[in-house]
Amino acid sequence: MAELLTPAILLSILSASVGAATIILLAALGELLTERAGIWNMGVEGTMLCGCLAAYVAMCETGSPITAAGAAMLAGVAAGLVIGFLTVSLKVDHFVTGLGFNLLASGLTLFLFRSYTAGGKPAGYATIDRWPIPFLSEIPGIGPILFNQHLLTYAALLLVPLVSVFLARTRPGLECRAAGENPEFLQAKGISVAKRQYGALLVGSALTALGGCFMMLAFANEFRPDISGGRGWLAIVAVIAGNWRPFRTMIAVIVFAVLDSLAVHAQGMGVAIPYQFFLMLPYAASILLLAVVRTRSGQPARLGIPFLRR
């Protein structure tokens, strides 16, 4: 393991970690908004898969990353509508809905992918390049880590304070939080709880699908079954470990991303440890975080509890 501790390798791991964190961070922020509105959206993994497939097809057909991002977000909105209809409108159990949707998305994306490629595999596409920020990216140490990333990485990092301000300082954000804390108050004020929950679900699902899109644009140029690889579950764990706070959630995401990046580098350097050990590190860390972080002061009081309009 000593070869992994050289300054050059550590710099490479940290730089790759920030990029890899973008996938989970976008999904985690989307899940954070959804849960603060009182919805346990366990369908993050399936929503991310939908975003991956939509981005893949859009890139194969148009070659435009912007179009791919738009297609992925539309797929996320569609997923959010399905989950919202079941949880908000029909009051179906949130966990059952999410798990069922994940199974549906896993099978449906595979079916659609095989149908799309039945006539011959589409030509691959080039992954997007990084956008180094002039001068800042040349700062020793921190420059390559923070300022030599993709545009969506910068956007995801910027979203962290924006989501924090939205939830704490804006009327729509406060109404979103009230939907998860005290929906009766919203009803007494004549404000629709369902609309606030649908809104949170649609925005959150669009962000989750955008995370899947980023995976296809920056790290892969072809779709594979279950390509999300459990990152949706890590996003849910990050929200819980972050105590439903944007900045704490980001820290949890970065921990997962560093471990994931360490696994990639270890395999590439031929470290004499089974690669499966490194692959399990992010998921083992997620279990450890849930066991250690027991504070739930930030959990919305009505999270997962259907609101029955009186």
Integer-rounded Cα Rg, in Å, for the chain is 20
For 32-57, write each residue's pLDDT tens digit: 999 999 999 999 999 999 999 999 99
Residues facing 149 on adjacent strands: 131
What single letter denotes the amino acid at residue 134? P
Q: Name the 3-class secondary structure at 273.
A: coil
pTM of the model: 0.93
**Topology of the domain comprising 2-117+152-292:** ABC transporter involved in vitamin B12 uptake, BtuC (1.10.3470)
* Spatial separation of the C-alpha atoms in residues 37 and 114, rounded to whole Å: 36
* Tokens linked to 154: 């910068």
Q: Where are the domains of the chain?
A: 2-117+152-292
Phi-psi region of 213 (alpha: psi -120 to 50; beta: other; left: phi over 0): alpha
Tell me the one-letter amino acid at 85: F
Q: What tens digit of pLDDT does each residue of 140-195 get? A: 878 888 899 999 999 999 999 999 999 999 999 999 999 999 999 999 899 999 99
